Amino acid sequence: MELVCAVQQYAWGVHGMASSVAQLAKGGQPTLSVADDKPYAELWMGTHPSGPSFIKGTKETLADFIKGHPEVLGSTITKQFDQQLPFLFKVLSVNQALSIQAHPNKSHAEELHHERPDVYKDPNHKPEMTIALTPFQALCGFRPAEEIIKFLGEVPELRRVVGEENATNFCNKSCEQSLRACFASMMRASKETISAALVDAVTRFTQMGQSRQELFDLFLTLHSKYPGDVGCFSIFLLNYIVLQPGESMFLGPNIIHAYLLGDCIECMACSDNVVRAGLTPKYQDVDTLVSMLQYDMAPAESRKFKGSSKDACTTLYNPPVPDFAVEMIEVPESKNEYQIDAVDSASILLVVQGTAEGVGAPKSSGSSDSLALQRGTVVFIPAGQSLKLTKAGDALLAFRALCIN
């Protein structure tokens, strides 16, 4: 069944038809009106109540359809998640930095939801997978100790906001406890300290001109979007990563991260739980973030998550959680047909590039469902259902979210 999916217009999104989200949404909904002056940040595919998908041609939500036909989920899902689709599938078009954030584990999410349901609106955890569609810039995890020590020496304004005692202690000990003290002190620094340090850093980096290093350019870009925000200094403590198309990251609970620029596919547990602190006008919960983070230090490359080859056309990204996995399906121009195999799990397929006819397995009557697939088509595939693709010329790129035993 083809789906009509929700678009989220967060301020950090790419504007108008320059946004991949807008392009894909309009591909699936040709009558959709796209405004040049509005941001189109996320396309949501799934059953989350904040952005539910609908069965195309009806007013029925996918959630209601599943409720009435729970067998479409398959036993892989129903054994662990009852009659709920456990994942939320997304496309993101990022024009400026999202907040510095992390996601709680399941028990912590339940606790936060119980204590502050107005802020933390559901009790679920939110592990997530990011797969780049374009070169995708992000911050993820804390840098190796030697890199942080280097910046504490090169950037006196950073040393000022973390505190001289904390900086010296970290340079001497380089342990997780001393890193936590530096990060906590930075995030809790007074407005006066932050403001003065930012002014000095902006002035100094600007005067360097073309000789300044890439990270200083990033600092100036972040400050232009979020003036006065201490989160600008986080780039010296966190790994800066550029994922190339097809490269991915898996973000488990309590891993600090921020997306900066580019387009990606994202899949996560069906939750919207985010603990934020920095690079955002939204509610910031600094104390919770500081207390929950993992403070292990590792190189940027180690934060990437490698997929495995399922066959000549499909790469499987299977993270260490039961809630979801993602397949990247690349059918070359030279290959006319490809079959998406049946699995014991409901799945959602998004076509990102190319056109094809998709034909389901024959029904008991002998007939088969057929769908015209193009850029932006989103299809819900029930458990046990295969989909044969007959391609029309150009290469086809699609992604499928599913659950795996």
- As annotated, the active-site residues are 276
Measured distance CA(393)–CA(404) in Å, rounded:
31
Report whether 130 contacts 306 (CB < 8 A).
Answer: no
| DSSP type of residue 189 | -
Measured distance CA(346)–CA(6) in Å, rounded:
19
Measured distance CA(300)–CA(225) in Å, rounded:
24
* Beta strands 304-305 and 308-309, pairing class: unpaired
| DSSP type of residue 235 | G
Q: What's the length of the chain?
A: 405
Report whether 2 contacts 371 (CB < 8 A).
Answer: yes
- Both tokens assigned to 248: 């991915």
- Give the neighbor-by-neighbor strand order of the sheet with 314-317: 308-309, 314-317, 325-331, 396-402, 347-353, 378-381
Residue 188, class by beta-carbon neighbours within 10 Å (0-12 exposed, 13-18 middle, 19+ buried)?
A: middle
Report whether 203 contacts 157 (CB < 8 A).
Answer: no
Measured distance CA(260)–CA(139) in Å, rounded:
7
Binning the chain into helix, strand and coil, the percentages to the nearest 5 are 30, 30, 40
